[in-house]
Structure 1
Amino acid sequence: MKSAAKRAAGKRAPAKGLAGKRPKKTRDDGDGDAFFLADEDERNKAAPEDEQDEEEVQETADQLRMRLAREYLSRLEDEDVADDRRGVTGGSDEEEGEGDEEDDEGVRTLDAAARAQRLAERLQQDVAQAQGRVQRRLAGRVHVLAPDDQGYAAPACARAHRLAATAVALTADDSTAFTVSKDGAICRWDVETMKRTQLYRPGDGPSTSGQQATGADWVARKARTASRAALSAVAVSSDGRFVAVGGGDWKVHVFDGVSGSYVQGFPGHKDVVTGLAFRDGTHTLFSASADRTVKLWSLDDRAYMDTLYGHQAEVLSVDCLRAERVLTAGHDHTTRLWKIPEESQLIFRAHDRAIDCARFVTSTEWVSGGSDGALHLWSALKKKPVWVARGAHGADAGDAYGLPAAGVATGLSAGEAAAPSTEHGWVTAVAVCRNSDLVASGAGDGAIRLWSVQPSKAGGAGSLSCLGALPQRGFVNGLAIARSARFVVAAVGQEPRMGRWARDPRARNGLALHRLAVE
């Protein structure tokens, strides 16, 4: 017993935490300390990786922003140096070789202060563009030609709808336009060729028989008028991936912008969908309705997000830029600026009647038009409009803004010009060229008028100056200006967008394209 106890006591117990592990083979197997030395080496090698992981986890939000800012500045500096090198070498590949050293020396000798100034201007421009402030002065470079001027190009108006076109949307690359109408048709247009293809909602496929899907052949088909199938709004995302339409069926229908296939329909509104807008750079969709609400949808998640309450009557227009600010206008004579993160709204009243349209000029400035015939320029810093154009469209609009009469300005004779009435002077559509000072407005007086945003002495927008008129027969129910300002597209029809209280039977129902002369 004693010998067994002595043998047990003489055995060394295994080290804590190393039970079950085999000693690693070393060159000196007779040295017993080699096992522990090898284990310490492994711990030393693993320590730096653990410390790096801890540093990555412990990186704060401020440190992350600082690191991303340094990387962005470094990338801009590299692009600036590359541009300077191309400017010094003249952009020719044949001159490379012996002159490389001289080119590098020339780049190094550039004034560092000038380089820093260029970099600062580039950063200011990027920030201003992200915030939606006016940066490009395009209005001064646009020339509106009269029909008798040299170089004048007649507008192209393609008939595609059986009833009045109600809205138009233009992609960010100015290559594709989308229109919807009261007959429920959705057309996709190639701007260059004016060729169109049609998109279909579920159950709206093409009919080859010309008769109703159900019922006997001898049963006469009823005339299709504005109904639950009618559409009154369309919007396209900034990347062109999604196209959304809405109308009398109280749903928001989403299509794939490239293939044209149907993606999904979103129910939720309790009345006609009257306006749609995407937030720039995102797939967040805002929908306005006659049920007096504005709803938010996430197309990435295919889900409903929130509802904005506040309007006391039908909401007729909605617009949004990159910031989380939404602009709405409605039949309650108000325009409202919604601050989504703060969950608040600013209310602006000045129009005497319903406000049919409103569009952002900058993130804090916008224009609006309504059935009172006035065009208003607003600023979020003032409760009253900055500038008002009474009778911007109508019989007296030409004399008021130094332009020819409506028939002369549009190239129509007195007999062809639409009969003057109060309804024809209603401002039914406005559009703003993104990040610029160019504005367009449309009505039923036979003209699309272009405006320039004039700065005020205190800064910001001060007034609108009329640049000229583009001839357009019929009611202009939707407008969009190309980002390059090369053309203006309009959704025109024989009737106004939201009713049938006026009619011009000689007008076309479709898309109108007006080319602009830009210096």
Structure 2
Amino acid sequence: MPFFIRNKRSGGNKPKKLGGKKAQAKRKTDVKSQQLEKRGKFAPNLDEEITSEEEEEYDKNKKVIEEEDELEEETAQEKKVRLARQYLQQLQEQRAQDEEDKLDDEAIRTRLREDVLEASGRLRKKIADSYLEPEADDLKVFRSKKQRLSVTCITVSADEKYVFSGSKDASLVKYGMDGEKLGTILGGRKGAKDSHVGHCSHIYTIAVSSDGKFLASGDAGGYIHIWNPETLEHLKTFKKHRGPISGLSFRWGTHTLFSSSHDRMVMVWNLDAMAFVENLGGHQDAITGLDAFMRESCITSGGRDQSVIVYVLVEDKQLRFSGHYDSIDGVKLINEKTFVTYGQDGYLALWTTLKKRPHCVVKAAHGYQSNGIPNWLTAVATLINTDIMASGSMDGYVRVWKVDTDRHKSVKPLFSVPIPGVINSLAFTTSGSHLLVGVGQEHKMGRQSTSLLWLVGL
């Protein structure tokens, strides 16, 4: 019977593996990848081309794999130490977050407490002791060639961006806090009020609303002009007073404007409606000064009737005070219950609404003239709800004072700043970092022709 015998292949009975070593390595990689996928891990084929996003995903998964490998290799003791450290770190982070929340809550409580105290007139900030006498480098002079006559009044916006000054030549000038002149409203000739938009007589007072939307200015002709502080656009003219406008003040946080005049009347205006609201009487002589803050009330000084009146609008009543023996030329609020007056007798008097006579009087606050008569106090500025105050006269100095706002027993001098000329107006910035000084050669009722505005850094 025929049969065939097949020859043996070289290399023995083992079949030859296909693809060589590279194919074998690839198959091993695929097998390992499948195993890792079953374990929930990812190990990509390094021979494949991958995008940047895939590369980032790979790095992330590689880090996870390494961490898991480390966890598999750590001992029980090392695991306890690691978990303890994680727990301590969580506690520290939680404590830091609690402290931050506590600080935020405390800041909110402090702000609310200050708002309540401020509204009730009981807020007292003790800052006077932190003030130092300024040096020569801290003084800056603002000057405008378009204001040819004396500066009579100044005001600064609540955000401390702009300074406004009024002059005897009926012009208004707007400055930045760095002294840059940002705009000018020129005055008109006397008798040209029908053809000129703006003032045509001496500007005696100026005020800006707390939100910076309205600027009000009053002149010797009894006119009140309302302006846009940003653009200096003329908005409205009021003519109801029969004498020179001696004071303007906005109620804080509102568009209610108070005005006083030599016609012995106080008037209330609503600038949202651009309308007159009511007038208030009571003084027997020309009103020389006016101030207001948060409450629905205002305070005025009555010149030679030597009286101060607080008008409480809600209750429709008046509180009267007297204590000077000569003309009272101005009044300024320190807080809702404390105020200061000054006048031609050289007195600087500290009052509260609880007493009809002054609690404290500084006689001859700016010294004496050569004839023995006290220097006439011409301007005072207060930083509301604090114990700091500044006064000006014709002795060439601005004096800064510390006020006892708790017991109202003293007004102590801190330092003096030499400013040549007659101080016609003073104003603190809202933060109290600067004091603005309007200076002339004579009082604003005089006739000299020099105009300077000083910025004192405190």
TM-score of Structure 1 vs Structure 2, range by shorter chain = 0.7 to 0.9
- Report if aligned partners of 1:330, 1:355 keep a CA contact under 8 Å in 2: yes
Name stretches of at least 5 consecutive residues in structure 1 with no aligned partner.
Answer: 1-97, 206-211, 214-226, 397-419
Which of residues 206, 213, 234 in structure 2 aligns to 1:234?
206
Query: 1:412-423 counterparts in 2 under 5 A?
Result: 420=370
User: Residues 324-356 of structure 1, C-alpha deviation per residue, up to 9 Å, x if partnerless?
Assistant: 121101211111111111111111111111111
Which consecutive aligned stretches of 4+ in structure 1 deviate over 4 angstroms post-superposition?
98-104, 107-120, 420-424
Which of residues 376, 385, 400 in structure 1 aligns to 2:349?
376
The residue aligned with 2:451 is 509
Which of residues 113, 118, 128 in structure 2 aligns to 1:124?
113
Which of residues 128, 132, 138 in structure 2 aligns to 1:139?
128
Per the alignment, in what secondary structure is the counterpart of residue 315 of structure 1? coil
Per the alignment, in what secondary structure is the counterpart of residue 425 of structure 1? coil
The residue aligned with 1:251 is 223
Structure 2 counterpart of 1:427, which letter? L
Structure 1 counterpart of 2:421, which letter? G
Identity %: 31
Deviation at 1:136, TM superposition (A): 2.5
Which of residues 153, 162, 166 in structure 1 aligns to 2:152?
166
Deviation at 1:105, TM superposition (A): 2.6
- Report if aligned partners of 2:189, 2:200 keep a CA contact under 8 Å in 1: no
Deviation at 1:477, TM superposition (A): 0.9
Name stretches of at least 5 consecutive residues in structure 2 with no aligned partner.
Answer: 1-86, 194-198
The residue aligned with 2:166 is 180
TM-score (norm 1): 0.65
Which of residues 271, 289, 293 in structure 1 aligns to 2:265?
293
Query: 1:96-495 counterparts in 2 under 5 A?
Result: 102=91, 105-106=94-95, 120-145=109-134, 152-160=137-145, 161-200=147-186, 229-331=201-303, 332-395=305-368, 420=370, 425-455=375-405, 459-495=406-442
Quick one: distance in 2 between partners of 1:283 and 1:200?
Answer: 26
Q: 1:186 to 1:108 in 2, by over 3 A?
A: closer
Q: 1:157 to 1:307 in 2, by over 3 A?
A: same
Deviation at 1:496, TM superposition (A): 0.7
Corresponding residue pairs, total: 364
Deviation at 1:163, TM superposition (A): 1.8
Per the alignment, in what secondary structure is the counterpart of residue 140 of structure 1? helix
Quick one: distance in 1 between partners of 2:457 and 2:441?
Answer: 22
Q: 1:431 to 1:296 in 2, by over 3 A?
A: same
Q: 1:460 to 1:308 in 2, by over 3 A?
A: farther
Q: 1:391 to 1:100 in 2, by over 3 A?
A: same
Quick one: distance in 1 between partners of 2:209 and 2:217?
Answer: 12
Deviation at 1:120, TM superposition (A): 4.2
Deviation at 1:122, TM superposition (A): 3.7
Per the alignment, in what secondary structure is the counterpart of residue 461 of structure 1? coil
Per the alignment, in what secondary structure is the counterpart of residue 426 of structure 1? coil
TM-score (norm 2): 0.73
- Report if aligned partners of 1:183, 1:230 keep a CA contact under 8 Å in 2: yes
Q: 1:323 to 1:422 in 2, by over 3 A?
A: farther
Q: 1:285 to 1:146 in 2, by over 3 A?
A: same
Per the alignment, in what secondary structure is the counterpart of residue 125 of structure 1? helix
Structure 1 counterpart of 2:166, which letter? V
